[in-house]
């Protein structure tokens, strides 16, 4: 089979390697046929040589839709023919967080596609404890987007959003999915902000009706327009931009939570005097737990998550480099770029 490897920044090359075979599976292992791989922001950092925790060469691919080809003799979670994906987190199982049921922040966390080989090849083996059996009516593309959905679901579960007015700053793929997950969990009203009309248009296509372009309307005016005198009681920062965290801290109702989902490339300033006096809590959110994937599958299956508008471009497996060129040249227009492996062997 053909494997795609990032040899060095800006250079993906293809290598012929032996395909894993059913007869070599361990008792707890599953052989997958990879159909679609999604490209995400972190992959782009790897391609640009800007990911702090990656050494080259690296095999990418951590968001994927696959079909079960064969299973080891102890596997009961899936059967050949099932649609599936798997969590890309490799954890130690022994550290404090792992023992406390929080393996997403394992002290020795390695993520496939970054610190461990990813799935950029037609056949891939995963152990049963990371497999997700997906609703059969989901497409392989929808399943490939389950990973960022799980990010949104995990973040939206870090505080209680039920019945609250919620703001999500940043309408990229992750902000969009955080906002959809917040809505799906029963928030009263959700406002999503961005400085890109294109991204906000996508948000509306996904069913997020309250949007604001804060390059054109002030944050305070948008809050007033959407929530009236009620204000907002919960927020998610998903842009990584200083102004957003400043606006959120300054305007959120006293006693509320702000979940930080974005990775800030520059350490932002936060007004701790206001944080203190207003009893605002800043809460981190890192990837997901297995249950977040299961909820993502359920919310995709019942339509609470609408991911179809997020797929903006599609490329064949051998066009991996072209996919990244497209992302570099059309950053705003590119939301989820899909790599299609269906024609590969
Ligand atoms: N916590 C996690 O587990 C996790 C997982 C995946 C991604 N992330 C992080 O989430 C963030 C979002 O990811 P993404 O893929 O959606 O990125 P993205 O770059 O596509 O989205 C960021 C959005 O913020 C918008 N933005 C810029 N300035 C703004 C402003 N002043 N107000 C409002 N919006 C503004 C941009 O236009 C863009 O649409 C990134 O920082 C990423 O690293 C975190
Ligand atoms: Zn990703
Ligand atoms: Zn651990």
**Structure confidence by residue, pLDDT tens digits, 66-81:** 999 999 999 999 999 9
Residue 261 CA, closest ligand 1 atom number? 1
> In sequence order, what E strands does 198-240 have?
210-213, 234-237
Average pLDDT in the 90-116 region? Answer: 98
Residue 144 has pLDDT above 80, yes or no: yes
Which residues fall within 8 angstroms of residue 78, CB to CB, at 6 or more apart? 30, 68, 71, 84, 128, 131, 133
What is the spatial distance between Cα 65 and Cα 282, in angstroms, rounded to a whole number?
Answer: 34
Q: Is the CB of 195 under 6 A from ligand 1?
A: yes
CB distance 170 to 182 below 8 Å? no
What is the spatial distance between Cα 31 and Cα 46, in angstroms, rounded to a whole number?
Answer: 26
Q: Give residue 115's pLDDT band: very low, low, confident or very high (50, 70, 90).
A: very high
Residue 175 CA, closest ligand 1 atom number? 16
Going by CA atoms, what residue is nearest to atom 18 of ligand 1? 172
Average pLDDT in the 165-189 region? Answer: 98
Which of 129-138, 162-171, 187-196, 336-345 shows the lowest mean pLDDT across its residues?
336-345
Return the DSSP state at 266.
S
Residue 265 CA, closest ligand 1 atom number? 41
The closest ligand to the CA of 179 turns out to be 1
Q: Is the CB of 175 under 6 A from ligand 1?
A: yes
Going by CA atoms, what residue is nearest to atom 16 of ligand 1? 172
Interval between CA 100 and ligand 3 midpoint (Å) = 9
Q: Give residue 98's pLDDT band: very low, low, confident or very high (50, 70, 90).
A: very high
CB distance 200 to 213 below 8 Å? yes
Q: Which residues of 76-98 are buried (b: 16+ CB within 10 A; e: fewer)?
A: ebbeeebbbbbbbbbbeeebebb
Residue 41 CA, closest ligand 1 atom number? 15
Q: Is the CB of 173 under 6 A from ligand 1?
A: yes
Q: Is the CB of 177 under 6 A from ligand 1?
A: no
Average pLDDT in the 201-211 region? Answer: 98
Average pLDDT in the 280-309 region? Answer: 98
Domains of the chain, each with CATH number or no CATH:
2-145+307-340 (3.90.180.10), 152-284 (3.40.50.720)
Strands 189-194 and 123-127: unpaired
Give tens-digit pLDDT for 257-281. Answer: 999 999 998 999 999 999 999 999 9
Residue 52 has pLDDT above 90, yes or no: no
Q: Phi-psi category of 320—alpha, beta or left, where left has phi over 0 and alpha has psi -120 to 50? A: alpha
Helix axes 173-184, 197-205, angle to 10 degrees: 30
> In sequence order, what E strands does 216-335 have?
234-237, 257-260, 281-284, 311-316
């Amino acid at each position: 089979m053909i494997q795609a490897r990032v040899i060095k920044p800006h250079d993906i090359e293809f290598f012929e390697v032996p395909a894993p075979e059913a007869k070599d599976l361990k008792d707890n292992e599953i052989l997958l046929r990879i159909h679609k791989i999604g490209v995400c922001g972190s992959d782009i950092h790897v391609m640009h040589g800007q990911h702090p925790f990656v050494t080259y060469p690296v095999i990418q691919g951590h968001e994927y839709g696959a079909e079960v080809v064969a299973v080891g003799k102890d596997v009961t979670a899936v059967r050949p023919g099932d649609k599936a994906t798997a969590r890309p987190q490799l954890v130690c199982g022994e550290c404090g967080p792992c023992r406390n049921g929080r393996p997403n922040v394992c002290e020795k966390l390695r993520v496939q596609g970054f610190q461990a080989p990813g799935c950029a090849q037609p056949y891939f083996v995963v152990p049963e404890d990371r497999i997700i059996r997906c609703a059969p009516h989901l497409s392989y593309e929808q399943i490939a987007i389950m990973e960022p959905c799980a990010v949104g679901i995990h973040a939206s579960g870090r505080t209680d959003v039920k019945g609250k007015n919620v703001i999500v700053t940043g309408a990229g793929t992750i902000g969009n999915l955080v906002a959809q997950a917040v809505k799906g969990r029963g928030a009263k009203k959700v406002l999503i902000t961005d400085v890109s009309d294109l991204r906000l248009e996508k948000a509306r296509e996904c069913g997020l009706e309250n949007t604001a372009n804060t390059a054109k309307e002030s944050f305070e005016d948008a809050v007033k327009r959407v929530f009236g005198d009620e204000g907002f009681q919960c927020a998610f920062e998903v842009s990584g931009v200083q102004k957003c965290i400043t606006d959120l801290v300054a305007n959120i109702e006293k006693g509320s939570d702000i979940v930080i989902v974005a990775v800030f490339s520059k350490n932002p300033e936060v007004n701790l005097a206001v944080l203190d006096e207003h009893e605002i809590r800043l809460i981190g959110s890192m990837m997901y737990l297995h249950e977040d994937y299961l909820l993502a599958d359920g919310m995709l299956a019942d339509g609470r998550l609408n991911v179809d508008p997020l797929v903006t471009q599609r490329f064949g497996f051998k066009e991996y480099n072209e996919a990244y060129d497209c992302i570099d040249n059309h950053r705003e227009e590119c939301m989820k770029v899909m790599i299609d492996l269906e024609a590969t062997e």
